[in-house]
Amino acid sequence: MGDQDDGGGGGGLTMNNLLSEVQNTLDKFKLEDDGPVNADYYSPYANLEKAAVLQEARCFHDPAAVRENPRKCCTVIAQLLHLTNTGQYLNSAEATDVFFGVTKLFMSDDASLRRMVYLFIKEVAETCNPDDVIIVTSSLTKDMTCDVDLYRANALRVLARIVDAAMLGAIERYVKQAVVDSSGQVSSAALVSATHLFEKNAESAAIVKRWISETTEATISPNEMVQFHAMQLLYQIKKSDRLGMQKLVTQFSQRNTLKSPLALVLLVRYTAKLLTDEVVEGRMTGNSFQNGSTFARSGYAFLEASLRHKSEMVVYEAAKAICALPNIEPQELTSAVNVLQQFLSSTKPTLRFASVKTISQVAASHPRLVSKCNEDLEALIADANRSIATLAITTLLKTGSENSIDRLLKQISVFLSEIPDEYKITIVRSLQRLCLTYPAKHRVLVGFLSNFLREEGGFDFKRSIVNSIVSLIKQVPETTESSLLHLCEFIEDCEFTMLSTQILHLLGELGPGTQAPARYIRFIYNRVILENSAVRAAAVAALSKFAARCPSLRTSIMTLLRRSLDDEDDETRDRASVAVSVLKDAMEEFPYVPPEEDAETEEEPKPDVPSAGDPAAFVLLQGLPMSFDRLDRSIRAYVKAPTAMESAEPLTFSALPIVEEHEEPESTTTDEIGGDAALLAAVAGEKEEKKEVVDPAAVVYAIPELASLGRVFRSSTPTALSEEETEYVVRCVKHIMPEHIILQFLIQNTVEDQRLVNCTVAVEGDSECFEVAGDVAAESIKYGETANAFTVITRNPDAALAPCNFECVLRFGVVQVDPKSGEDESDPFDEEYPLEELEISTSDFMAKVSVPDFRQAWEQVGNANEVLEKFALQFKKQDDAVAAVIDFLGMQPCDGTGHIKAGEGGKKPHMLHLSGVFVGGTNVLARAQVAASGDASGVLLKIAVRSDDPNVSRMVADCIR
């Protein structure tokens, strides 16, 4: 979006005049159904028939028609292109005839016809037979060596589309000459064609790599576009060679031979990428770029020197590159921020937008450094371009002081009513972050946000405000009561059912814990009277939670709930019935005794909480020990287990099989929402439907001999025992049982003329804990098929678990078959195929299962069986160490601790929370602190493991290696 002239006096071109001219032009070309214009109008592309166009194309073979009427030939080519672009492709015979005719058009000297010929060949070449395209190659090669620059450039571009590696070798000399041609048009065409050829296939790329000396020579061309394309091709050739790229960047940054701003922009980008790789890959020797390696110093010096270039394009690109460098020190950013500050007052909207966007990104990590731009940013709030104004406001909210908040909010309140919802959402999130920065201003900020809840706006805008308020409740507890009251007022006139139901759920969770929970009852009951069925059901559930947690309110809430027993909605009526029944029993068993009015004021009042064993608190407040998704999968696995339905054992949560969580739940960031699970689900919006999870143990239960061994505790992910490109691809899945391990080998036959029979995998290992007990062979595996073979290993439960490596050999019979008919051609003969070693580690016996509240579970387990250890890990990056610890232990990360937040790697220790269930049903929890060591030689790990079994705690701690 750019600035717009509002129009004014004078004879100059204004926006109104321009719109008027456009409308007049449209009126001239408007086709009326009954008007005379429509009767005389004829489109050359209307109702085209391929046969008629091909008949017209015969004029290509008439030399006189080609010389005297090139315009007709151009029209026919345009019609042919229209046919191919609308899906009416030429068959082989038609394409051959047309291409022969096109070669006759090269005899014409008409420039327009020649350009249409080039366009036709380039567009149609990809959809036609390559043998037909070769017909025009000789004519294009001739044009490539002629004296007309226009023909030479276009011929090069077309040849790059149709030649293969063999043909490219034949014309290589001409292309190399064109790269260094004195004509900028020809040289640019050759360089662009070389870039396309490099990406075409490996053979063509190998030929293009030989042109590096000519490409380097093209960088000194006086034509700016030639320099740009030459730099682009040099990068393509050398991008896989880090040292070569460093040498290239160093040479051009020191020679100052590049005069093209576009080429310098590329050089700045390449330098920034190499500097970023230096940091990411751990090759930086110093704490800053100015004190780093030789290349780091020279590269940063070049970027800083580019800030003084005469081209604004180069200056901005250099400033942007410096600001994007990882782990850069504030003093190294000063020069770039100063340049961006000057651009904020530019007359060009594009430059203002680019600079304020970059400054906004810098403000996220260095707000103090950007604060000196606040005066210029405040001037941009009134910018006609709303994107610029929005970025200016969000940046000010990041850099502003506590004293400037009130003044900013006054400016924003006027501005918000004039911008679309997508910009409003960005500002709301910035206000949320500001409240976390200055918690003392929470009343002002929450009040400001709640005011806009009552203004006009779409669902996404209102949802973003609710998300922000809920997040602030979690982050700043002082905002709880005022925020809940604002949300109560919002649902009084809320048109969005989803937001109403989620706010009611939040009220039911947090409202009873406030100082005066009775004040929220009126707002909730109003929803029972006035809203639709979904909101009424949510309101009944919220009232039930208030009654369960606050015995003093049960009598009055019971009166309200009884009115919903006759509700027309089944869900609302059922919820009310359950709540009334449970609360009635609880009131009879634990009647509420109000405090005496004449009681001494010095005595502390009795807390308004349910008594121990209160049935209402248990039924209405106690959550399930697992999510509904896990419960569904666990019950399905229970049913599929052998003799499960015949067992006399009652079905309890403890009797259900363990279900693993292979993906860590998404952590809730402050940018999105901090709230309960139901509200998070609402914010997530519509997600793709989950695929049904297949129980990997089903293949074990399908074989009676294996099913008799009992229920599978957990199944590992497949482990490759051979390369994907080998003749026989083998993967292994480890099915863990309390006293057995079943190794499922997935064997794929990739040899077309063979059929494998009686396939087994021989497993040998030296361990006191494990012993091979038997195997089940795969009877027959045809080409392209995958079959299962099983090996059973017995585990000694009395021996301590320790990692063990097993040597694996695939043994099978080979039957030669006819690839066409599939019939056997020989008797089977025995073969062996060595596989990679298979490791069985302690982590294989750990199921990844998360806990709802890690801190509460940690305290409940206690430190009686706690094991503390300290390790020095040989990892250069903190992220890699965190991933390795999770892999070593085989446990599930909790509370979003499985990943280090962007920008925090190495700056401070990372606390990792892990949970799991060890074979036998022992719950295990672990807390691990991962911190970078002082000498930067590795990573320090401090880990604490808790469980109900000291032996299990010790085995889990010993998994670190």
- Residue 535 belongs to a domain with what CATH number? 1.25.10.10
Give the global pTM. Answer: 0.62
Token pair for residue 355?
């600079």
* Structure confidence by residue, pLDDT tens digits, 232-270: 999 999 888 888 888 888 888 888 888 889 999 999 999
pLDDT at 451: 82
Same domain, 382 and 518: yes
pLDDT tens readout for residues 516-554: 888 999 999 988 888 889 999 999 999 999 988 888 888
For residues 740 and 790, the answer to whether their CB atoms sit within 8 Å is: no
User: Taking the CB of residue 257, how many other CB atoms lie within 10 A of it?
Assistant: 11
Q: How confident is the model at residue 855 (pLDDT cuts 50, 70, 90)?
A: confident
Q: Is the pLDDT of residue 189 over 80?
A: yes
Q: Which of 294, 328, 362 is the last residue of a domain?
A: 328
pLDDT at 431 over 50: yes
Asked whether the predicted pLDDT for residue 408 surpasses 60, the reply is: yes
Q: What is the mean pLDDT of residues 808-823?
A: 86
Burial of 86 (0-12, 13-18, 19+ CB in 10 A): exposed
Question: Which residue reads 């804990």 in tokens?
Answer: 769
Q: Please tell me the distance from the alpha carbon of residue 924 to that of residue 847, in angstroms, as a whole number.
A: 10
Residue 19 confidence (pLDDT): 57
For the segment 594-622, the average pLDDT, to the nearest whole number, is: 72
Q: Is residue 683 part of a domain?
A: yes
Say if residue 796 is in the same domain as residue 650. no
Q: How confident is the model at residue 689 (pLDDT cuts 50, 70, 90)?
A: very low
Distance CA 803, CA 6 (A): 77
481-485, 800-804, 810-814, 835-839: segment of lowest average pLDDT = 800-804
**pLDDT beyond 60 at 197:** yes
Average pLDDT value for residue range 623-639: 78
Instruction: Name the residue with tokens 């456009």.
Output: 22
Shared domain for 452 and 376, answered yes or no, is yes
Task: Give CA–CA dist 811/169, Å, rounded.
Answer: 49
Q: Does residue 688 carry a pLDDT above 60?
A: no
Answer with the one of 671, 698, 725 that is the final residue of a domain: 698
Is 815's pLDDT higher than 80? yes
Cα separation, 473 vs 9, in Å, equals: 55
In angstroms, the Cα distances linking 269 to 273, 302, 316, 328, 547 are: 6, 11, 11, 17, 63
**Mean pLDDT, rounded, for 12-36:** 53
pLDDT on residue 390: 85
Return phi, psi of residue 312, to 5°.
-65, -30
Assess whether 412 and 531 both reside in one domain: yes
Q: Phi and psi of 631, rounded to 5°? A: -65, -40
Mean pLDDT of 599-616: 70
- Tokens representing 542 are 């919220």
- In this prediction, residue 581 carries a pLDDT of 92
Mean pLDDT of 601-627: 75
Instruction: Report yes or no on 137 lying in a domain.
Output: no
Task: Judge whether 456 lies within some domain.
Answer: yes
DSSP string covering 51-76: HHHHHHGGGGG-HHHHHH-HHHHHHH
For the cut 60, the answer to whether the pLDDT of residue 13 exceeds it is: no
Looking at per-residue confidence, does 402 or 224 come out higher? 224
Is residue 371 located within the same domain as residue 513?
A: yes
Does 4 have pLDDT greater than 60?
Answer: no
- Mean pLDDT value across residues 346-357: 91
686 and 821 inside one domain: no
Asked if the structure places residue 825 within a domain, the reply is yes
| pLDDT averaged over every residue in the chain | 82
Residues 494 and 372 in one domain: yes
Q: How confident is the model at residue 43, as a pLDDT?
A: 64
Q: Once rounded to an integer, what is the mean pLDDT over residues 401-427?
A: 77
pLDDT at 906: 58
pLDDT in tens, 790-804: 999 998 877 778 888
Q: What is residue 574's predicted lDDT score, i.e. its pLDDT?
A: 92
In this structure, are 795 and 892 located in the same domain?
A: no
Band (873; pLDDT cuts 50, 70, 90): confident
More confident residue, 42 or 726: 726
Q: Is residue 123 part of a domain?
A: no
Looking at the structure, tell me whether residues 859 and 831 fall in a common domain: no
Q: Tell me how many domains the chain contains.
A: 5
- Within a domain: residue 191? no
Among the three residues 820, 840, 860, which one is the final residue of a domain in this structure? 840
Q: What is the pLDDT of residue 600?
A: 55
Calculate mean pLDDT across residues 475-499.
Answer: 87
Instruction: Give percent above pLDDT 90 in the chain.
Output: 18
The string of DSSP letters for 737-802 reads -SSEEEEEEEEEE--TTEEEEEEEEEEE---SSEEEEEEE-EEEE-TT-EEEEEEEEEE-TTSPP-
In sequence order, which residues have a C-beta less than 8 Å from that of residue 854 and are 6 or more positions away? 894, 895, 913, 915, 925
Distances (CA, A) of 430 to 391, 533, 672: 10, 35, 11
Q: Is residue 855 one of the residues assigned to a domain?
A: yes
If one compares 622 and 517, the residue with the highest pLDDT of the two is: 517
Mean pLDDT of 880-902: 84
- Is the Cβ–Cβ distance between 340 and 377 less than 8 Å? no
* Inter-residue contact 870 to 863 (CB < 8 Å): no
Burial class (CB within 10 angstroms; exposed 0-12, middle 13-18, buried 19+) of 431: buried
Q: Above pLDDT 70, what percent of the chain?
A: 88
Band (836; pLDDT cuts 50, 70, 90)? very high
Q: Two tokens at 534?
A: 């979904």
CA–CA separation, 776 vs 774, rounded Å?
Answer: 7
Among 93-102, 128-137, 477-486, 546-555, name the one with the lowest average pLDDT: 128-137
Q: Are residues 786 and 850 in the same domain?
A: no
CATH number for 859: 3.30.310.10
> Picking from 359-373, 394-408, 589-603, 847-861, which range would have the lowest pLDDT averaged per residue?
589-603
Do 431 and 532 reside in the same domain of the chain?
Answer: yes
836 and 850 housed in the same domain = no
Most confident by average pLDDT, 7-21, 734-748, 896-910: 734-748
CATH number at residue 725: 2.60.40.1480
Residue 149 lies in a domain: no
Work out the average pLDDT over 390-408: 81
Residue range(s) defining the domain that contains residue 406? 345-551
